[in-house]
A and B are shown apart, each in its own frame.
Chain A
Amino acid sequence: MNQETVKGSGLKGWIFTTDHKRIAVLYLITSLVVFTLGLLLALVMKAEQWSPGKDIIDAKLYNVFFTIHGAGMILWWMIPVYTGFFANLLVPLMIGARDVAFPRLNALSFWFFAGATVMAVLALVTPGRLDIGWTGYPPYSIKSDANTSLYVFAVHLLGASALASAVNFLTTIITMRAPGMTWGRLNLAVWGILGAFIIQLFGIPVLAGAVTLLLFDKYLGTNFYNAAMGGSSMLYQHLFWFYAHPAVYVIALPAFGIVSEIISTFSRKKIYGYTSMVIAIMAITFLGFDVWIHHLFTKGVEDWARIVQSLLTILIGVPTGIKVFNWLATMHKGSIEFKAPMLYAVGFITLFVIGGATGIANGLLAIDLHVHDTLWVVAHFHNVLSMAMTLVAFAGIYFWYPKFTGRMYSEGLAKVAFWIILVGSLLAFVPFYKLGLLGMPRRYWSYPAEFTDTYRLTVIGGYILVLGFLLTLVNIIRSAFAGEKAAANPWGAKSLEWTLPSPVPVYNFEKIPVITAGPYEYGRPEEKAVPEGAQAV
């Protein structure tokens, strides 16, 4: 490794860096930029929903906006913030390694991702703007005058980035753990990231194939998805969701891990049921691949396939439930301190249970026949992603803020933003459950006049929510320059990364540590404790 490029400061030092901590920050910056773009698009769409018919943009532009909003929020914000930012920042620090297994490949992963970001922005501003939904279903994506090639190539670059990362991090976690860092002492965040990358490794090639065939159909005249010529338009949906559903767990598993770290640290209590937590993560990793048909419950799929995957879908509720109850049990008899990350984690749990419970409805075949592709579903996945998983991302950013900036965030601002986000998101999305049950479909530019009042409630909620998000962005950016200098271990945490100074030096560990205990050993009674009173003598 060339030491100069690693240590170099200034722009060059960032562009040519192979340091996992710097790459993490690059991911975070890119993700936050696209997140902000997605928020702005949402604000315009919300304004358009103020009344039925046209308020400020026409149907075509509205379709472009929800396409870029959806793709941006999932593929550039939620997935990369976990598999890009958190994975890069945490994995080497938590397993006691100096970097990932292939640092230059890691840098390449990021720059593929950056290239895909440029394409996403081009897709928004160049002619033939994408109006095909982030799902890009044919035949519409083939018939539309949208420049579908940008979509396909962006997915290719994202896929190449994610596959390289998957190989890199799986190798790192398996082979580079410090002496004594047994599987049973691994942080749950690392377990979650492991599960996420297993999904990436097996799922992404399928998605890449699906969109490549789309490219061939549109530009080379093949007929993979053309039913009139012996193809099948439904084939695309199967291939797409084979990856795109497990992709939800690419987000959720690291998030679950991060919540476990935070709850254990601020309750000053060992994580409850460590083994069952790990089993739950792995169960979700593998079950996640057997449930994609719930996205096709109303789409002419064979009855037996619908029934089997309905049962498998709701089965995922069981390992998810195990995690929730273990978090509760961790707080029980703890010594809980409500710093911002803990507040966000607790908020996450209650919002996530709503999102999980409504996900059960989507998984229940018969119920789904009514709520499928309605605003109920929009409410459900915003409940999970925009509320729950985004809260965890913020919680994690605050929690490890000292480790990658050397400074502290503003505690007061973080807490104010939390309550604004909570109120805003409930107001923005709970009415959507009601509208969905009343039959209002999703991806509608206009709507029947009788829904106007309910829609307006969600518009107001949406603006409050975005205010909370913007305050969080201000906090994250401002604190990097103006925050207080952070101590090495401001939370008194017992996990390995907190033994390092803040910010973490380039080589992480001067000497590779020898691990003798797990990361959650709070309040462990001394095994050879001196009997009470004996010392007084």
Chain B
Amino acid sequence: MKKGFWILVSVVLLFCLFSLAIAGDRAVDPAKSWDNHYNLYFILVAGIWLLVTVLLVYFSLRYRRKKGQGDGAYIPGNTLLEIIWTVVPLIIVTLLGVQTWAVYKEYRHVPKDAYEVNVEGFMWGWNVTYPEGIKTINELRVPAGRPVKVNLTSKDVLHAFFIPEYRVQEEAIPERTTFFWFKPSRAGEYRAYCTEFCGNGHSLMLAKVVAMEKDGFDAWVAQQKGAVAKLLPVDRGKKLVEDLGCLGCHTLTGEKSAGPSLKGVYGRETMLADGRKVVADDEYIEHALETPNRDVVKGYTPTMPPYKLPIEDEHAIVEYLKTLK
């Protein structure tokens, strides 16, 4: 009878704790849920630390050895007490664990109306590509009030994109796409960092996150789109080659780098690693962008990442390469 009563009390207590863990601000904004989660965590652990430290100091003073005092009391243990300080922490970590699970689900559940941008890390900076075809470097502009999904990848080594304001980060991994999302609730300018060690420029690999009011953002998009569309294909190709970071591995001077030089590449007869001979024409170059590791030039390693560009962009790049005599 007495046992049953205590089990009932425990179940009710546990239920209350779990509801507390999962309840709270259900507004879909992981950053806000993060703050609630952290607050509960902080109160609980600060309480435990205080309890331990106060007891520690109290026992240290209260039971200090007096002159001529012998051994302390002989108490090998107490099963009930030991069960209590096993079960209570167990309840606390379960409570926090359930809450973290619930908050994490929010982090991974991207709202359907999210604005989607692609971010690529490189040594040492960030390429941002917008759905409208705009590209920026080390700057991520987003419309305030609308969820933003970031598809993340890396060109060379591991990086990680971290926006403290939105309490979120994720690894940028070569050959893979990871994602995270956040909700910029109001306009403002925030900092993004690289949090995965990536060499000498790691601590300078910062980006600006600019959340703009909807009107301002739309105006910016229109302006950028116009600027790109107005360019001649040759100039657009030049901008693409620069923005995509091609020049990291391909020189314009004829010198060898990680990849062959782009100088005079168009129309050049080229020996491939597997012994085939090809002429670098439109078709070859477009293939080389899409599946670069299929036709590797002799003397080079297959390290170039594939680029999936709109067909106009590929044409523009070819037009630009034609001019590099």
Contacts and interface: CB of A to CB of B under 8 A. Distances in A.
B295 to A, nearest CB: 15
Contacts of A525: 74
Nearest to A448: B191
B314 interface: no
A300 B195 contact: no
Nearest to B197: A443
Interface string A460-490: 0000000000000000000000000000000
Contact of A227 (B34, B174, B196, B200): B174
Contacts of A272: 75-77
B101 interface: yes
Interface stretch (B2-10, B59-67, B246-254, B261-269): B59-67
Interface in B132-160: 156-158, 160
5 contacts: A328-B52, A329-B75, A354-B49, A364-B97, A445-B202
B37 to A, nearest CB: 6
Interface in A287-325: 298-300, 303, 306-307, 310-311, 314-315, 317-318, 321-322, 324-325
A350 interface: yes
Contacts of B55: 328
Interface in B210-233: none
B74 A336 contact: no
B107 interface: yes
A123 B131 CA distance: 47
Contacts of A333: 63, 72-73, 75
Interface string A415-429: 000000000000000
A269 B170 contact: no
B93 A276 contact: no
B169 interface: yes
Interface stretch (B80-88, B234-242, B281-289): B80-88
Given A233-B174, A361-B41, 16 more contacts: A59-B201, A63-B197, A63-B199, A273-B77, A318-B89, A325-B85, A349-B56, A350-B53, A360-B41, A361-B45, A366-B100, A370-B168, A373-B169, A439-B164, A443-B203, A523-B73
B53 A353 contact: yes
Contacts of B107: 366, 369
A143 B200 CA distance: 12
A298 B89 CA distance: 26
A228 B303 contact: yes
Contacts of A360: 41, 45, 93, 96
A335 B104 contact: no
Nearest to A140: B157
A453 interface: no
A357 B81 CA distance: 22
B65 A367 contact: no
A367 B76 contact: no
Contact of A446 (B73, B167, B203): B203
Interface of A: 59-60, 63, 131, 133, 137, 139-140, 143-144, 227-229, 233-234, 267-270, 272-276, 298-300, 303, 306-307, 310-311, 314-315, 317-318, 321-322, 324-326, 328-329, 331-338, 346, 349-350, 353-354, 357-358, 360-361, 364-367, 369-370, 372-374, 438-448, 522-525
Given A137-B158, A268-B70, A364-B37, A357 B45 contact: yes
A370 B34 CA distance: 9
A268 B65 contact: yes
Interface string B160-192: 101011011111011110100000000000010
B202 to A, nearest CB: 6
Nearest to B97: A311
A130 to B, nearest CB: 12
Contact of A63 (B30, B33, B200, B302): B200
B118 interface: no
Given A59-B203, A373-B195, A441-B195, A335 B72 contact: yes
Contacts of B203: 59, 443-447
Contacts of B70: 268, 335, 523
B305 interface: yes
Contacts of A361: 38, 41, 45
A256 to B, nearest CB: 15
B167 A334 contact: no
Given A144-B199, A267-B63, A361-B41, A353 B49 contact: yes
